[in-house]
Amino acid sequence: MEELINIQNLSYSYGKTDVLDDISLSVKRGDFIGIIGSNGAGKSTLIKLIAGILKVQNGTVQVTDVDGQRPVISYVSQMQDKKSVNFPATVLEIVMLGLYPKIGPFKFANNTHKLRVMEALSLVGMEDFAKRLISELSGGQRQKVMLAKALVSEPDIMILDEPTTGVDKNSSLLIYETLKTINENDNITIIIISHDIKNLKKYCKSVYEIEYGKLKKYDI
């Protein structure tokens, strides 16, 4: 199986506080990985390093495909959801933003692009909300819109930070089932942070725990 992410001897600190300590991990195309750990354990730091949001301090994080190209990564976080609340845009417009890495920031979306957006919204059960303002939605609904925005770019890798926080049980299951479907049908690699150990054990192919800066396999 093609390796997309290779992490070797990764360490990271905020000032004098060590967060990650000599972590190594290999992630292959089609993997569905869950990461657990207490608050402040370094989970979000790890995925931000993988996504390229944070700069590596010590060790290496290589994210390349078999041709040496950087895969398309979609990153979904609670912070993105909070930032979207006061943004005067419709659900359709928010999800459309996910297309810009492919069509370019100054290009106009055509009917094919709009169809792709509606398909992504349909996957998360939000197609009937396309014309609603994002600010009018509940927190759980906004999370599903952010997931659709990530899906519309047809990424190689999806990285999700607590995607079901503030989401009701049925919506949470819909999100996990959607992730399972795209993982199995489209071979998209998924890395998800969550405190929902029950669903991680049910849906993920492997689960890791970060504790005291160390990454270890969690028995599922």
All domains in the chain, ordered by first residue: 1-71+156-219 (3.40.50.300), 81-154 (no CATH)
pLDDT over 70 for what percent of the chain? 91
pTM of the model: 0.86
* pLDDT tops 90 at residue 3: yes
* pLDDT tops 60 at residue 155: yes
| CA–CA distance, 153 with 135 (Å, rounded to integer) | 23
* Centroid of chain to Cα 218: 20
Segment (H or E) for 85: none
- Rounded mean pLDDT, 71-87: 68
- What are the pLDDT digits (tens) for 15-74? 999 999 999 999 999 999 999 999 989 999 999 999 999 999 999 999 998 788 888 888
pLDDT, residue 159, reads: 95
- Rounded mean pLDDT, 70-80: 76
pLDDT, residue 108, reads: 66
Residue 212 neighbours by CB distance under 10 Å: 11
DSSP 90: B
Question: What is the band of 104 on the pLDDT scale with cuts at 50, 70, 90?
Answer: low
